[in-house]
A and B are shown apart, each in its own frame.
Chain A
Amino acid sequence: MSEIPGDLKFLSSHEWARLEDDGTVTVGISDHAQDLLGDIVFIELPEVGKEVEAEGDAAIVESVKAASDVYTPISGEIIEVNSALEEQPETVNGSPYDDGWFFKVKPINVDEMSNLLSPEEYSQVCED
């Protein structure tokens, strides 16, 4: 498994969140998650403008094997989605932390980030 970038925070359900310089939060799924899912073949992204609540479902990822909900680690408004994934969902398998991001949230309360797991804590969750 590839190394987890240090600036990410995680939900134990395998989503990551990155606080960007402009105050928005980018969300995706972890390398461990894409590995568990196997070949990803379909992604349903939220609509831009939608309000989402932390740990509520925001997107759906389907591998050949199964469909899974993707939860948002942070509450706020969806301000951008990675529509390139609709044509090339397999990007998530190859680049879960960069090109394979799902959506960006304008957070209501950025302090929610402190509720999330650090890379070390998340790695522990994956090992358990």
Chain B
Amino acid sequence: MKKTFLYEDHLSHGAKMVDFSGWSMPINYGSQIDEHHQVRNDVGIFDVSHMSIFKISGQNAESYLRYIFSNDVKKISSKNKALYGLLLNENAGIIDDLIVYCLKGDFLIVSNCATKEKNEAWYQKHASEFDVSVDYIDNQGILAVQGPNSIKVIEKIFGGEASSLNTNECVKVDGVMIAKTGYTGEEGFEVICENKYLRKIWNSSIESGAKPIGLAARDTLRLEAGFCLYGSDMDESVNPHACGLTWTVDINDQDREFIGKQAFLNINEKDEQKMIGILLKDKGILRSGYEITHIDGKGTVLSGTFSPTLKKSIGLARVDQTNEQSGLVKIRNKELEIEFVSPRFLKKI
């Protein structure tokens, strides 16, 4: 099994390690609910070095990314910024979701670990048309410092230029890239650097008040924020409309050709199922695969969990179009009432 550079550090903090797509990763260090609250109320640090980093080099890197990525990289290419979007196939099915970072003219892609091989093949398939090189970076890792007090931690370690970044901006300080991005719905930063710097940043963050947070809390945090998880909430069988991700497909520049564009334009959003947030009114826990019914049709729970902040069960679901505000979910032969809400369960940022 693959280990991140900080494997021993996780063990020394009492982590329970699990197999996460071939990586041995910390699922929790104690109570995942305590870790969740730590990020919402204070600051936590996650080792997310299992995620894939690719570097795109060559004169045509921008043109290449404008062709393979749903969002328009032109918006960030002269700035030091990050842009979220999708890799679409020709049918507008979602190959993966990812963040493209542009820092001093260099382009980096950060994407899921389970899709690494698939994405790499896709990148290479189209690289030759643009004469760019796409390289998997295996000597770097990623730390996420997240929570309202993340600014203090980042300021202490990297100074004011990093800590005063606005959302989606990034900067390089002493060879370390710091970006104001994250997957928790809190104010926070992601730090990308060579492995040799990771331990120092990890330890300094903890000395500055951050607590180690496992992947279990990362999942409840992202779900409260309404962020989709690839493999659970989206895959190649669905298009961006059915995932609440229409906004990540930028069609403002009509001259821009990109993979999946024609298929995307041919889809009528009203004919698609839609992504909603669901709240369980009764006690119980929503789980992936549970069936939903409402007055105009049906649907399925995609991700479900217990929300530590709301103290009730929440989920993301894909349902037939409706204006109804409620429906029923089947849990072990019982039909329980659910409320249909915005997936942004916590509207903090």
Contacts and interface: CB of A to CB of B under 8 A. Distances in A.
B285 A62 contact: yes
Interface in B157-215: none
A39 B285 contact: no
Interface string A48-90: 0000000000001010111100000000000000000010000
Contacts of B308: 64
Nearest to B34: A39
Please provide the 8 A-B residue pairs with the shortest distance between their CB atoms, ordered closest to farther.
A41-B306, A39-B33, A62-B285, A64-B306, A42-B285, A39-B31, A39-B32, A38-B32
B28 interface: yes
Contacts of B220: 64
Given A41-B306, A42-B306, A67 B31 contact: no
B285 A67 contact: yes
A67 B288 CA distance: 11
B28 A67 contact: no
> What is the interface of chain B mostly: helix, strand, loop, or mixed?
mixed
A65 B16 CA distance: 14
A39 to B, nearest CB: 5
Nearest to A93: B31
Interface in B29-83: 31-33
Given A42-B306, A60-B332, A62-B306, 12 more contacts: A38-B27, A38-B28, A38-B31, A41-B285, A42-B313, A62-B284, A64-B32, A64-B220, A64-B305, A66-B287, A67-B285, A93-B31
Interface of B: 27-28, 31-33, 216, 220, 283-285, 287, 305-306, 308, 313, 332
Interface residues of A, number: 13
A60 B331 CA distance: 12
16 contacts: A38-B27, A38-B28, A38-B32, A38-B216, A41-B285, A42-B283, A42-B284, A42-B313, A60-B332, A62-B284, A64-B32, A64-B216, A64-B220, A64-B305, A64-B308, A66-B287
A41 B307 CA distance: 10
A39 B220 CA distance: 12
B15 to A, nearest CB: 13
A62, A64, A66, most chain B CB atoms within 10 A:
A64
Contacts of A62: 284-285, 306
Nearest to A66: B287
A39 B150 CA distance: 25
A64 B284 contact: no
A41 B314 CA distance: 13
A111 B105 CA distance: 76
A67 B283 CA distance: 13
Contacts of B287: 66-67
A38, A39, A67, most chain B CB atoms within 10 A:
A39
Contacts of B306: 41-42, 62, 64
Nearest to A41: B306
Contacts of A64: 32-33, 216, 220, 305-306, 308
Interface in A1-53: 38-39, 41-42, 44
Interface string A83-105: 00010000001000000000000
A44 B220 CA distance: 22
A100 B313 CA distance: 22
A38 B287 CA distance: 16
A42 to B, nearest CB: 5
Contacts of A38: 27-28, 31-32, 216
A65 B332 contact: no
B216 A65 contact: yes
Contacts of B284: 42, 44, 62
